[in-house]
Amino acid sequence: MSTVRKAAIALAAVSAMALTACGPTEDGAAGGAGTPTASPTGSVSAGPSTTPAPGASKSAAPSKPATPSKAPAPGSTDPDFDVFPCSTFDVKFTATLAEPTTGSYLLKITNKSSKACRALGHPVVTFGDLDGQATERGAAPGIEDAIRLEPGQSAYAGLMGGAKDGKGKTVDSIEMTMNTESDLKQTPLKASTPGLNVSPDKNSVTAWMNNAEDALSL
């Protein structure tokens, strides 16, 4: 074999070896088992995150229902809602001769208790041992407008004496109880009325008023 041919064979063998060393193996071919697998660039979360995203508001815990405010007691806006009617236990009582000709008397009550009370309607006036009582003269205000007596304050009523026509009887005292619009038992209060003439259906009494003049003019 010539020297030129030997050189060509040797060069071909070296080239084949170079291709075998540098080229991809069968396993390293596309899709082969030897192809290196790229690792994921980020970690995979195993489940939904429980950490709120920045700026997101946290869910507030359920609040307890508001407790409704108590409704005011009936009439609590009225400053007089707890002022009860005056009874004979709350007042002191006097009777003063106002007009000798007619035998009219001014009746006066004064709140002697430590709290306010209301003087309701007309006084209930009886005449000692005689049967019957004075009739009511004039209208009385309703309970909402009744006179309020603070401790030490007074109210007045006018008692009309009967004409001295020989048909009546005279008494030296009267007894008075208050209108309380209830079945409260009261101790009658007595006042002196010397020579008061009591005639059938002639004696009358006004409702309680704020001043003596009104009580005697009705």
Q: Write the pLDDT tens digit of every residue in 79-131.
A: 566 799 999 999 999 999 998 877 899 999 999 999 999 999 999 999 988 88
Whether 190 and 107 have beta carbons less than 8 Å apart is answered as: no
pLDDT of residue 79: 56
**Which pLDDT score, from 0 to 100, does residue 124 have?**
97
- Rounded Cα distance, 127 and 159, in Å: 12
List Cα–Cα distances, 13 to 18, 20, 133, in angstroms. 9, 11, 156
Q: Which helix (H) or strand (E) holds 17?
A: helix 3-22
Determine contact, residues 106/78, Cβ cutoff 8 Å.
no
Do 96 and 132 form a contact (C-beta atoms < 8 A)? no
Q: According to the model, what pLDDT value does residue 202 have?
A: 82
Low pLDDT (below 70) residues in the chain: 1-81
pLDDT of residue 78: 56
